[in-house]
Structure 1
Amino acid sequence: MSQKKRVLFLCVANSSRSQMAEALLRHTDPEHFEAFSAGTAPTEVDPRTRNALEQLGVSTEGLFSKSVEQVAGEPFDYVITLCDKSALECLALPGTGEYIAWNFEDPAASAQKEAYRKTLHEIHERIKMFVLIKSKPASGDPDAMAPTELFKCLADETRARIAMLVTLEQDLCVCELTAALEEAQPKISRHLALLRSCALLEDRRNGQWVYYRLHPQLPEWVRDVLKRTLDSNAEWLRPDVQRLWQMRDRPGRKPLCD
């Protein structure tokens, strides 16, 4: 069995967001990851955080607030900040591998009735994406793609629509996909990163633009699945295609050399 990756989640108070992330990663994939959390100015775990986790069926056992200094001497493969302030205040921890910056609204500062449940859902979605990306080799191997990997990679409507549009158009840049899908650029970029990590898409730079296309080494059966899905679901994709084709100032393309 390969060694588990150690992940440290950081926020300021270590009372809500980082505690949610720690509990969710332990719940989602304890086989491949060890989860920890700390704060730059720790207080205590918010009872509303515990309640939101327990309502989701996630264990809160072992959660307690701790300072960054308490974990500073430990090795971590990933350090993930969950708010802008913690990212700015975070000390450079010796022995740390990769730093990742996420940003979620503090539910304690929100006036929304379901703020804690909403924040928990948003962090849960990001944790699931993190697990998908980081629990497999970064480069991916298209020739070794299994059906479960393909369907897991496409088990999200936005990613499925991106894959269909790229199959149709051959290559698309982020701005074209944001226009076609009417989604924010950061969201599209996150989904593209996952599709690339699954070795389903490949990116290439052409002038100032970065384009995404189907990976040239995709197995033929994967291309056939994508093409058949596209051919059989024209109505489902029609609004996206219309918005794409009506987009003004679409970036120009130069022929591929390969």
Structure 2
Amino acid sequence: MSQKQRVLFLCVANSSRSQMAEALLRHLDPEHFEAFSAGSAPTQVDDRARHALQQLGISCEGLFSKSIEQVTGEPFDYVITLCDKSALECLALPGAGEYIAWNFADPATSTDKAAYRKTLQEIHERIKLFVLIKSRPAAPVAEGGLLSPTELFKCLADETRARIALLLSLEQELCVCELTAALDEAQPKISRHLALLRGSGLLEDRRNGQWVYYRLHPQLPAWVGEVLRQTLEHNAEWLRQDVERLWQMRDRPGRKPLCA
């Protein structure tokens, strides 16, 4: 079993934000991380922070305010500051690994009665993302550079390409003439967009007799298919005319089943 990564959360008073972060990380992933907190001018754990944690079902056991001096010299893989002031005041800790700067408004200065609950929710979302990124090894880049988020959204930023992708998500497989009919566009324009989508790794093609059919690449990451599925589900009206033109098309080319 690999050694747990040690994470230190810092804020000035070590009374609410850093305590919340410590408790949340202990709760979310005790298998991969050890969580600690400290402050440059520690006071005591705020009862409102404890209450917010307890309402979320997070244990407050072992939480107490402590100074940076009490943890100086201890090894930490990550030191995360929770406010701009602590980032400025906290000196570099000997033996610390990566420094990360987050900034959350101090709920103690807010007049909002739900300030502590809202701050806890914000920190919770950030901790979940931290766990997701830092608890897993970096995934290897797919052969051929199959589709990063930037490439996907660049492709889908063009309306015609977005409609092509959604139609393929709906119909599984279409040829150029079907897409030409559905989108009411000239064949050369559709072909240019298909070439770009294929070159980006979003689509692949196959020949069946005289026809070339296009489909979403079968090795796409699952999240890409989910993005298209959710977009299609919530924007059916936007695609309605395209689908109706496709379904009303006569003499649609036949196709043999795909090889398994």
TM-score, normalised with respect to structure 2: 0.61
Task: Structure 2: state its 5+ residue gaps.
Answer: 158-199, 203-216, 238-260
**For residue 115 of structure 1, what is the aligned residue in structure 2?**
115
* 1:119-138 alignment runs, 5 A limit: 119-137=119-137
Tell me if structure 2 keeps the 8 A contact 1:107–1:119: yes
Work out whether 1:169 is the aligned partner of 2:154: yes
Q: Report the CA distance between 1:236 and its aligned residue.
A: 3.1
Q: Report the CA distance between 1:220 and its aligned residue.
A: 3.6
Q: Kindly report the root-mean-square deviation, in angstroms, between the aligned alpha carbons of the 2 structures.
A: 3.2
* 1:177-256 alignment runs, 5 A limit: 220-223=218-221, 226-227=224-225, 230=228, 233-234=231-232, 236=234
Deviation digits for residues 51-91 of structure 1 (CA, Å, limit 9, x no counterpart): 11001000000000000000011000000000000000011
**For residue 2 of structure 1, what is the aligned residue in structure 2?**
2
Q: Secondary structure at the match of 2:234?
A: helix
Deviation digits for residues 88-131 of structure 1 (CA, Å, limit 9, x no counterpart): 00111000000000000000000101000000000000000000
Per the alignment, do residues 69 and 168 of structure 1 end up closer, same or farther by CA in structure 2, a change over 3 Å counting? closer
Q: Which runs of 4+ in 1 moved over 4 A?
A: none
**For residue 256 of structure 2, what is the aligned residue in structure 1?**
none
Per the alignment, do residues 220 and 68 of structure 1 end up closer, same or farther by CA in structure 2, a change over 3 Å counting? same
Distance, in Å, in 2 between the alignment partners of 1:228 and 1:120 is 29
Q: Counterpart amino acid of 1:49?
A: A
**For residue 158 of structure 1, what is the aligned residue in structure 2?**
none
Tell me if structure 2 keeps the 8 A contact 1:166–1:214: no
Deviates more, 1:224-233 or 1:3-12: 224-233
Q: Counterpart amino acid of 1:43?
A: T
TM-score, normalised with respect to structure 1: 0.62
Distance, in Å, in 1 between the alignment partners of 2:51 and 2:61 is 12
Q: Counterpart amino acid of 1:14?
A: N
Q: Report the CA distance between 1:36 and its aligned residue.
A: 0.1
Task: Structure 1: state its 5+ residue gaps.
Answer: 145-161, 173-212, 240-258
Q: Report the CA distance between 1:232 and its aligned residue.
A: 7.3
User: What is the aligned length?
Assistant: 179
* 1:45-84 alignment runs, 5 A limit: 45-84=45-84
Q: Counterpart amino acid of 1:169?
A: K
Q: Report the CA distance between 1:225 and its aligned residue.
A: 6.9
Q: Report the CA distance between 1:134 and its aligned residue.
A: 0.2
Tell me if structure 2 keeps the 8 A contact 1:170–1:214: no
Deviation digits for residues 147-174 of structure 1 (CA, Å, limit 9, x no counterpart): xxxxxxxxxxxxxxx95x85363388xx
Deviation digits for residues 207-257 of structure 1 (CA, Å, limit 9, x no counterpart): xxxxxx879xxx843358735852773463699xxxxxxxxxxxxxxxxxx
Distance, in Å, in 2 between the alignment partners of 1:105 and 1:225 is 32
Per the alignment, do residues 171 and 48 of structure 1 end up closer, same or farther by CA in structure 2, a change over 3 Å counting? same
Per the alignment, do residues 108 and 227 of structure 1 end up closer, same or farther by CA in structure 2, a change over 3 Å counting? closer
Q: Secondary structure at the match of 1:233?
A: helix
Identity %: 67
